[in-house]
Amino acid sequence: MARSIRDLSLWWDELGEPTPRASLNGDLDVDIAIVGGGFTGLWTARSLKEIDRDLRIAIIEKEVCGFGASGRNGGWASALFAASDAKIARESGAAQAHAMRQAMNESIGAIERATHEDGIECHFAQGGSIVMARNDAQVSRSHDEILEARSLGFGEDTVHWLDAKDAANIIQARNVMGGTYTPHCASLQPAKLVRGLSDSLERKGVVIYEQTTARSLHPGTAHSRPCVVTENGTVRADVVVRATEGWTSQFQESRKAVIPVYSLMIATEPLSQEQWSEIGLQNRETFADHRHMVIYGQRTHDGRIAFGGRGAPYHFGSTIKSSYNQNQKVFATLRTTLLDLFPQLSNVAITHQWGGPLGIPRDWYSSVTFDKTTGMAAAGGYVGDGVTTSNLAGRTLADLILDNDSALTRLPWVNHHSPAWEPEPFRWIGVNAGIKAAGFSDASEQRRGKPSWVGDKLASLLGG
C-alpha cells in the first residue's frame, strides 16, 4: 500500500488524505451487497437507488473508495469500448455494434448530468479527443477507424479525419501528419468524481464499509442467499455484485477471469499560458496517437499535462503489489515520449509519478452479467477504458437486477462470458510477449512507415 492515499496519484494528492469510513463489524443483512468501492460499484449503487430508493445497499471496500483504478486513471470519460466495433459486429451483428457505440456516446452525458444532480465538482470538460497520426502506418489506422464508424452509420459528428493543419489547430505536437477527432470524450478529475459519488451515496442511504477485506463471494442456492465473507463478518444479500476490476483475480473463484496489467502515469508542473499557447488543447481535449503501445494525456484543470501509457510488465500469477506502481524504466519512457511530442517541455518538472492495475479479460471484451438463479452479478474487464464504461455498467446492472427490460439490458455485452486466461507460465509468457510485440511494432512502423504485420496480428489476437 502507498505510504498514504495521497501518494496514489496526482488526483489523490489534490484531495488530501481522506479519513476512512468505518469498517464492517459483524454480520449484516441487506438487499444488495456490492464488493468494490470504485466507479463500477458506485454507479451501480446510484442507479439502483434511482429506481428504488428504499433498497438496502452496502458497499464493501478493502481500502477507501477510489483506491484502485478509479482514483488513478487518466481522467478520460471517453466513448471507447474494449472490444472493437468490428469484433462486436462479427459476433452480434452491425445493429448491435451500433447500439453499443451509441450507448457509450450517451454515457458521457449521463456522467455529466450525475455531477450536476449530485453537486460534484470534478472539472468535467467535454472538449473531445484527438488521436494523432505521426507516420504512414498510423495514418492508415486512422482511416480504418473512420471507415469502421461509417460502416455502422456514424457520420462526421462522431469521428472525422483532421489533416495536419486542422490537427495543429488543436494540438501543436511534433511530426503530426493528421489524426482523428471525436467530440465524445471529456476530461475530468477522477478522484474528485469517485469521492463525490461516495459522499452522495451516503446521503442517499447507501452504507459504505471501508478498510474491510472481502475474502470470498458465494452464490446463492435453493436453500441459501448469496453472501460475501469478509474478515469482519458475513454480508448476506438478495444480490451480490462483484465490482473489483483489476483486483478480480485476487479471488480464488475468479482467478482466471481478468488479469491485472499495470498502466503508469506522470504529470508535469502547471504550465504557463505562454507554454500552453505553444501546445494548444484550449478546450482541454484529451490526446493520444495511433501507436500500438497505448499512450494517453489530458490538460488538467490547473494547467498540467497528465500523461500515461502501457509498457509495464504483467506480473507472474496475477500478483498485485504497491511496488509495481513505481517502474522507473516506464516513467523514463513516458517522459521521453512526452518530450518527443512536445520538445518545448524539456525543462519542465515532472511532479508526480504513479500507476496501478487495470483489468483485462481474455478476449478483450468488457461484460455485465447477472444470474437470477444464484443472485450473483458482476461487471468489468474495461481494459483501461472504465471511466465511462463503468457508468453504463452500473445503469445496466440496475436494470438487470430489478428486472427492468430496457435498451441497456439488450446490449451485446450483457451476459457475455469471456474465456478463462491460460494457466501460468503460459499466461505470463504470452502477455509479456504481447507487450514486447507492441513496442517492436511501433519502432518498426516509425522506421519503415508501413503497418507492421506483428502489430496487425497482435490487434487480431486482442480487441480486433
* Assigned C-alpha cell, 273: 499560458
Query: Nearest CA to 185 among 268, 141, 127?
Result: 127
Cell numbers 448476506 correspond to what residue? Answer: 236
Q: What is the dihedral of CA 139, 143, 148, 154, to 10 degrees?
A: 120
Query: Nearest CA to 380 among 24, 145, 35, 90?
Result: 35
In CATH terms, the superfamily for domain 125-187+261-358+440-461 is: D-Amino Acid Oxidase, subunit A, domain 2 (3.30.9.10)
For the beta sheet containing 129-133, the strands, ordered from the edge strand earlier in sequence to the opposite edge, are 160-163, 178-182, 129-133, 286-289, 295-299, 305-309, 258-268, 350-361
Name the residue type at position 403: D
Contacts for 268 with CB less than 8 Å, ≥ 6 apart: 304, 305, 307, 338, 345, 348, 349, 350, 351
* Assigned C-alpha cell, 335: 517522459
- The pLDDT tens digits along the chain (464 residues) read 446 999 999 999 999 999 999 999 999 999 999 999 999 999 999 999 999 999 999 999 999 999 999 999 999 999 999 999 999 999 999 999 999 999 999 999 999 999 999 999 999 999 999 999 999 999 999 999 999 999 999 999 999 999 999 999 999 999 999 999 999 999 999 999 999 999 999 999 999 999 999 999 999 999 999 999 999 999 999 999 999 999 999 999 999 999 999 999 999 999 999 999 999 999 999 999 999 999 999 999 999 999 999 999 999 999 999 999 999 999 999 999 999 999 999 999 999 999 999 999 999 999 999 999 999 999 999 999 999 999 999 999 999 999 999 999 999 999 999 999 999 999 999 999 999 999 989 988 888 878 877 766 665 555 45
Are the CB atoms for 456 and 144 separated by under 8 Å? no
